[in-house]
Amino acid sequence: MDIVFGGPLLFVPAIQNGNITDIEVFSPRNGHPVGATFLPGVWFTDAELNDPKSERWPEPESFSLLDPHSYAIDLTQTSEGQSAFPGSAIPETNHRVKPRRRLSGEWDVAISVIGQLSGWSSLRLSEVKEGFYLGSDAPRVGATVSVMHRLTYKGVTGAEFCGASPQAKEYLSANVAKGGTIIIQGEVPYQASLAHERQATDAIAKLAGLDLHWVATAPVTHVALLMTHIMYCGASIIIV
């Protein structure tokens, strides 16, 4: 099973003896509606996820909004999925910050993924340019940040989306044997303003306790920048 996350999200993997044991994903309190959908028997290639207009990407109407509270995706796996995944294998093409600073409670949706991770792919990369960010926790100019992540879990035989609606839980349970992709998207379609783009960065920095600010001043108003799978506001951050 693949779990694809898109949008300005904060990833906090729990690491023991160098290996990832589970992952928490937070959507900061930034006014972004968060939606989820499950596609049984469907897996996306890197090329499809990197393509903003992939033909197989589901329509916005297929996403169910997640209410502002915590969730858990609890996976049951065979021995095939029990090999350890080291924290050092998280792609370096990300904005990564060191742990040990306390998180705030400024989140709307929190999702724990409980299962043995088999692979982590970071996609939709963009280069950090001069004048985009300020602060001691800002990514360096020339580095990349990512806005989409695919977490892969092998040998999945059961899954429960705790906290989701009864209908969504029943659909996942009835179809999990086919495998497939759970998509959790941190934005549903809207046109972003400059203030909103700044709010997205400010919110994730406030959640993670970071000195980080978005200072770019000229977002382009165009239908191609509609905040959805085509374009997301800001980038994700990984605490590791």
Residue 67: C-alpha distances to residues 4, 51, 144, 152 (Å): 19, 28, 31, 25
Residues 6+ apart with CB under 8 A from 203: 8, 28, 29, 30, 106
In angstroms, the Cα distances linking 83 to 21, 86, 120, 140 are: 11, 10, 14, 34
- Asked if residue 113 lies in contact with residue 73, where contact means CB atoms within 8 angstroms, the answer is yes
Condensed to tens digits (0 to 9), the pLDDT of residues 56-92 reads 999 888 888 888 899 999 999 998 877 899 999 999 9
Ordered by start, the domain boundaries in the chain are 2-239
CA angle 105, 109, 115 (to 5 degrees): 105
pLDDT tens-digit readout, 79-125? 887 789 999 999 999 999 998 888 999 999 999 999 999 999 999 99
Looking up tokens 């705790």 gives 162
From first to last of its 240 residues, the chain has per-residue pLDDT tens of 999 999 889 999 999 999 999 999 999 998 888 889 999 999 999 999 998 888 999 988 888 888 889 999 999 999 887 789 999 999 999 999 998 888 999 999 999 999 999 999 999 999 999 988 999 999 999 999 999 999 999 999 999 999 998 999 999 999 999 999 999 987 665 556 677 678 888 999 999 999 999 887 665 554 445 555 566 777 899 999
CA atoms within 13 A on the CB side of 181: 18
Q: Quick one: three-class SS letters along the chain?
A: CEEEEECCCEEEEEEECCEEEEEEEEEECCCCCCEEEEEECCCCCHHHHHCCCCCCCCCHHHCEECCCCEEEEEEEECHHHCCCCEHHHCCCCCCEECCCCCCCCCEEEEEEEECCCCEEEEEEEEECCCCCEECCCCCCCCCEEEEEEEEECCCEEEEEEECCCHHHHHHHHHHHHHCEEEEEECCCCCECCHHHHHHHHHHHHHHHCCCCEECCCCCCCCHHHEECCCECCCCCEEEC
